[in-house]
């Protein structure tokens, strides 16, 4: 990337859920990162580590427990007028994991895709509205004949395309894709990823791409953040993260990916991450520190020195 302009700044974001006293689920526990204009930031981690909550809090489906989200220089959270909220709603869209659950089965594809067009008054009249729907369907690899059908008539991959068309309808700048391919057959996953890549180039989109493992996310992400129990433990350029993983949790995630290489597979060892091995003491400050240029790892001061001598 030539010029790196921040589109989204996430500052010490927290989302705690009160699940009956005294239990508090710290789903997102103070995460800080930026997403640059036009990039794809992958967010990876095992189920339950807080990825969806991160996405939902950024897009304001939840009120944050703490911290800030700055979008294009403006704070997304806090008191906002209806007009301001509507503007954010249009600029940020979300694509969901389950293309079955996220499309209303009683609405036609046209009405699903046009939902945002209707809410934001983006069509001059009905024929303009339908022209926009047809054009969106073609953009995502469907066709105008699909407009009057219902979600159940489509395959999983096609439904995800409908979800993408719905998100694109309001001409957003930023799309949060929450495991958009996890529910799809492997053979279909690459098609949807390729579609998203093409749309990104054509429309200058910025993505937060959430995934639970590190296999597919490599092909779409410029940078990747690894999440563990509500925190980011490593953040780096995608290639650097794969070739030089530093945090033991990232290493364990990478060791779980099978490769179509018999030699590699014969020797592949699944690394198990045990957070106790860090042996952090009470007063040690564990935070993201830069080990190599642009490569951040959550660590103590002591680990920082070790990582520096080993990896920089």
Ligand X SMILES: Nc1ncnc2c1ncn2[C@@H]1O[C@H](COP(=O)(O)OP(=O)(O)O)[C@@H](O)[C@H]1O
Q: Are 8 and 70 a contacting pair, CB within 8 Å?
A: yes
By beta-carbon proximity to Mg ion, the closer residue of 38 and 99 is 99
What gap in Å lies between CA 144 and CA 232, rounded to an integer? Answer: 42
- Tell me the HSE value of 159 on the side-chain side, using a 13 A CA sphere: 23
From the list 51-59, 201-209, 243-251, 300-308, the region that binds ligand X by CB under 6 A is: 51-59
Helices and strands per DSSP (H, E), number in the chain: 12, 12
From the list 46-54, 63-71, 123-131, 303-311, the region that binds Mg ion by CB under 5 A is: 46-54
By beta-carbon proximity to ligand X, the closer residue of 57 and 139 is 57
196-227 in b/e form (b: 16+ CB < 10 A) is beebbeeeebbbbbbbbbbbbbbebbbbbbbb
- Least gap, CB of 18 to ligand X (angstroms): 8
Of 52, 93, 158, 160, the one binding Mg ion (CB under 5 A) is 52
**12 is an interface residue for ligand X by CB under 6 A:** no
From the list 43-51, 192-200, 218-226, 279-287, the region that binds ligand X by CB under 6 A is: 43-51
By beta-carbon proximity to ligand X, the closer residue of 8 and 169 is 8
**200 is an interface residue for Mg ion by CB under 5 A:** no
Of 6, 48, 75, 312, the one binding ligand X (CB under 6 A) is 48
**17 is an interface residue for ligand X by CB under 6 A:** yes
**50 is an interface residue for ligand X by CB under 6 A:** yes
3-state SS class at 32: strand
By beta-carbon proximity to ligand X, the closer residue of 113 and 233 is 233
Q: Are 308 and 291 a contacting pair, CB within 8 Å?
A: yes
What gap in Å lies between CA 246 and CA 234, rounded to an integer? Answer: 8
What gap in Å lies between CA 237 and CA 245, rounded to an integer? Answer: 11
State the residues that interact with ligand X by CB under 6 A. Answer: 17, 19, 25, 27, 45, 47-53
């Amino acid at each position: 990337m030539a010029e790196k302009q921040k589109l989204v700044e996430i500052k010490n974001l927290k989302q705690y859920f009160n699940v009956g006293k005294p239990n508090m689920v710290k789903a997102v526990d103070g995460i800080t990162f930026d997403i640059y204009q036009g990039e794809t930031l992958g967010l990876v981690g095992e189920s339950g580590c807080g990825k969806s909550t991160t996405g939902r809090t950024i897009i304001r489906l939840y009120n944050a427990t703490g911290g800030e989200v700055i979008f294009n220089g403006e704070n997304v959270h806090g008191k906002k007028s209806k007009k301001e909220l509507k503007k954010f709603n249009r600029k940020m869209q979300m694509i969901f994991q389950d293309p079955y659950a996220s499309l209303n089965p009683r609405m036609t594809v046209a009405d699903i895709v046009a939902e945002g067009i209707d809410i934001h008054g983006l069509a001059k009249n009905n024929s303009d509205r339908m022209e926009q729907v047809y054009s969106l369907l073609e953009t995502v690899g469907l066709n105008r004949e699909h407009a009057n059908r219902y979600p159940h008539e489509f395959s999983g991959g096609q439904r995800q395309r409908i979800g993408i068309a719905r998100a694109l309808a309001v001409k957003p700048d930023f799309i949060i894709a929450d495991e958009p391919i996890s529910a799809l057959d492997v053979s279909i996953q690459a098609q949807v990823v390729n579609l998203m890549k093409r749309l990104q180039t054509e429309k200058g989109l910025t993505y937060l791409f959430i995934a639970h493992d590190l296999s597919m996310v490599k092909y779409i992400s410029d940078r990747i953040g690894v999440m563990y129990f509500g925190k980011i433990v490593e953040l780096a350029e995608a290639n650097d993260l794969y070739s030089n993983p530093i945090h033991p949790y990232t290493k364990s995630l990478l060791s779980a990916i099978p490769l179509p290489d018999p030699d590699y597979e014969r020797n592949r060892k699944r690394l198990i991450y045990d957070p106790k091995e860090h042996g952090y003491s009470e007063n040690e400050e564990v935070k993201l520190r830069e080990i190599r240029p642009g490569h951040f790892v959550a660590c103590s001061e002591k680990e920082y020195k070790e990582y520096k001598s080993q990896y920089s």
